[in-house]
Amino acid sequence: MVKEIVQHGHCHSCGRAVKYGEITCSDACKTVWDKKKRSQRMVFWMMIAALILLIGLPLLRGIMGGA
């Protein structure tokens, strides 16, 4: 006896099965997921800013003729 598995996805926060195309299974998981995504976005932009400073400042200093 083989049952057909309905197409589904998994909650990005807790891993429970959800309807295909949905990201989270509940409002609580959506809140957790939104906070996690916001934190990841902040870290990403902080890394971009650090790279700009690490690469840009020495270049700017060389262009301006600083020693």
The predicted pLDDT at position 3 comes to 82
Percent of the chain residues topping a pLDDT of 90:
72
CA-to-CA dists, residue 53 to 14, 48, 57, angstroms: 37, 9, 5
In which band, very low, low, confident or very high, does the pLDDT at 57 lie, cut at 50, 70 and 90? confident
Question: Does residue 3 lie within any of the structural domains?
Answer: no
Range of the domain at 46: 8-64
Q: Give the total number of structural domains in the chain.
A: 1
State the average pLDDT for the chain: 91
More confident of the two residues 1 and 61: 61
**Residue 1 within any structural domain of the chain:** no
Q: Quick check: 60 pLDDT over 90?
A: no
